[in-house]
Amino acid sequence: MRQMKSLPLLVLVLVGLPGGCSTARQYRHLDDPPLVIRGVTATVPIAVDVRNFAGDVIIVVDEQATDVTVRVRREARHGSLRTEEAEAALALIHHSSEMVRNDRGPVLRVRVASSSPEWYFQRAHLQITAPAVSDVHVETTRGRVYATDLRGEVFITTTEGDVRVMSNFPLRQPVTVLNRDGDIDYRVRGNSGGRFECEAVGGTISPRMKLGRFVFQPGSRQDLLIGTLNDGENVVQLKTVDANIRIAVVEQPTAVGYLIR
């Protein structure tokens, strides 16, 4: 366990923007004021550590940014006949964000939980923007996880939402992505590496190795891929259930649209 301590030089600034509840009949949502963390630059990548009870987690790297921004949207879906209860339940979603430090550098730590007895009707969607990101650790359910242009270790687990790990930086650190009822897209450049152990239970794996040297190992089949990219020793474990996995080693890993085929 890495010892954490506060970063006293970083200033947390709440930027007050008006939030609001949706007018849709089926659900209610509330956009909280963004949290802006000053004193972060692209010269020192931060790690991102998120534990969310449910909802999307989107991590965006903006090299022109001069701070870290965390945006949270609370959501309640109690049904069309319980919209007032759904609106009241938004206050039962709690979250915190802070910058700490471990033995590898600064870490943005985000925690989201619900105290509602009907938490299964709720979610909280996060968007994190930073100048540079190293390691990513995300645990959530019922939500998408997108991590773009990271440059370190990856651990992601979710359900019922697609996962995208895409980086223009070479990835040569351990990667673990565990999903259920959601696709996994892993897209890297040709100078990345790894020992791949991938399985799509009830789905298929589509490899697209345009660059680098990928060696398929015996036992690989439509739903199981075992192999090595550029003789890498770091384990790349991608697993999903009732969904598909797409792996691409290409020149422009992040050049994708809304859909990836």
pLDDT one-digit tens code per residue, 160-206: 999 999 999 999 999 999 999 999 999 999 999 999 999 999 999 99
Decide if pLDDT at 25 tops 60. Answer: no
Decide if pLDDT at 15 tops 50. Answer: no
The model's pLDDT over 195-234, given as tens digits with 9 standing for 90+, comes to: 999 999 999 999 999 999 999 999 899 999 999 999 999 9
CB 47 within 8 A of CB 107: yes
Going from the C-alpha of 43 to that of each of 55, 105, 133, 172, the distances in angstroms are: 30, 12, 10, 20
Beta-carbon neighbour count of residue 227 at 10 Å? 19
Provide mean pLDDT across the span 41-65: 95
Report the C-alpha gap between 185 and 146 in whole angstroms. Answer: 9
Decide if pLDDT at 150 tops 60. Answer: yes
Decide if pLDDT at 3 tops 60. Answer: no
Decide if pLDDT at 24 tops 50. Answer: no
Spans of all domains in the chain: 1-133, 162-253
Decide if pLDDT at 73 tops 60. Answer: yes
| Residue-level pLDDT at 1 | 44
Provide mean pLDDT across the span 148-163: 98
Single pTM value for the model: 0.89
* 3-state DSSP assignment of residue 243: coil
Among the listed residues 66, 54, 223, the one whose alpha carbon sits nearest the alpha carbon of residue 144: 54
Which token pair is 31? 């956009």
Decide if pLDDT at 6 tops 60. Answer: no
Report the C-alpha gap between 166 and 135 in whole angstroms. Answer: 13
| Residue-level pLDDT at 33 | 97
| Eight-class DSSP state of 90 | G
| Residue-level pLDDT at 261 | 72
Higher pLDDT among residues 251 and 10, named by residue: 251
Decide if pLDDT at 29 tops 80. Answer: yes
Higher pLDDT among residues 16 and 244, named by residue: 244
Report the C-alpha gap between 32 and 180 in whole angstroms. Answer: 29
